[in-house]
Amino acid sequence: MRAGPSFAFTPSQRLPDEAFEILAPEGRELRLFSAVVEQLATGLQWAEGPVWFGDGRYLLVSDIPNDRILRWDDCSGEVSVFRQPSGNANGHARDAQGRLVSCEHLGRRITRTEHDGRIAVLADRFDGKPLNSPNDITCAPDGAVWFTDPDFGIGSDWEGLRATPEQPHGVYRIDPASGALTRVLDDLAGPNGLAFTPDGRRLLVVESRAQPHRLIWSYAVDGGRLSDKRLLIDAAGHGALDGIALDTAGRIWCGFGGNGHPDADPAALDGVRVYSPEGQPIAHIHLPERCANLCFGGAKGNRLFMASSHSVYALYVNARGAVL
């Protein structure tokens, strides 16, 4: 499928794939000797929000400026349009019943796709005012839907419609029983990717506009309340953190790229940075494009899907994604 910039890509013929760089001894066990980075699709304007549907053996991924969600089929390798228009959809997740929940920039809302295809609006306003542009989303073990709401999608007409923000940058929770919307954080600059630890006791949130460094914060979770804020990862002024996914061991896999720092080589930073549960960098998967978001999937949960600028890449790794 071609509808925008496309990139030629040649998988590595040498093993192990040099794209998987070991940064610490703990990262070595994550690399599979005969697995190489593959390009599954290209021609997207800005790839985001991958989510795996194991029951159908397919991946959904947003192409935000082109206002569509694409579907990559694991059996055929074919790419097709799952939904267009998509409301300039960004992040996606699956709820406790396996339904697709999505962040939409255009309607500034959170939606759920029912099993029969109907689309229900879960949230679009808080305290009587519209949300900014919901960005990324995850589901807690108790069934609550959590999402970040920076203003990235209303800053121009490229990924939605330009508008004046009426809310602070925030992190929100939708109660699984009542559907009530609560803002749980409003003190982060550009809250972006978010994910729960495998035990569901802590929530990690990327602060993607923190200055001078991009950060990941860790919070204790008690129902709908957050406490015990801890700085887990500091990108040290070089890398730009985006979407995140955790494996069953609590390691953090981060969409990564250069942030314009004069001492950093963007090409050397594009890809995925892997951190230990304690926040130490242990591996880096180099890609020819900046990675915005990622998820685990495949039949065994050990295939990493990476939405990266204009393309979607995949790599089998020696880890499995956390399932809450």
Q: What is the pLDDT of residues 153-182, one digit of tens each?
A: 999 999 999 999 999 999 999 999 999 999
Residue 258 lies in a domain: yes
C-alpha 308, offset from chain centre: 11
Can you say whether the dihedral through the CA atoms of 94, 99, 104, 108 is positive or negative?
A: negative
What amino acid occupies position 256? F
Tokens found for residue 278: 């304690």
Domain count, the chain: 1
Residue 71 lies in a domain: yes
> How far is it, in rounded angstroms, from Cα 319 to Cα 296?
9
Sheet with 170-174, strands from edge to edge, namely: 137-139, 145-149, 170-174, 181-185
Q: What is the C-alpha R_g of the chain?
A: 18
3-state secondary structure of 127: coil
Residue 8 lies in a domain: no
Residue 5 lies in a domain: no
pTM, two decimals, is 0.96
Residue 321 lies in a domain: no
> How far is it, in rounded angstroms, from Cα 63 to Cα 159?
9
Domain containing residue 227: CATH number: 2.120.10.30
Q: Identify the domain containing residue 54 by its residue range.
A: 20-316
Residue 7 lies in a domain: no
Residue 2 lies in a domain: no
With residues binned 3-state (H G I as helix, E B as strand, rest as coil), the percentages for the chain, rounded to 5, are 5, 45, 50
Residue located via tokens 């998988």 = 11
Walk along the chain (324 residues) and give the pLDDT tens digit of each residue.
556 778 889 999 999 999 999 999 999 999 999 999 999 999 999 999 999 999 999 999 999 999 999 999 999 999 999 999 999 999 999 999 999 999 999 999 999 999 999 999 999 999 999 999 999 999 999 999 999 999 999 999 999 999 999 999 999 999 999 999 999 999 999 999 999 999 999 999 999 999 888 999 999 999 999 999 999 999 886 789 999 999 999 999 999 998 666 666 767 899 999 999 999 999 999 999 999 999 999 999 999 999 999 999 999 999 999 986
Residue 12 lies in a domain: no
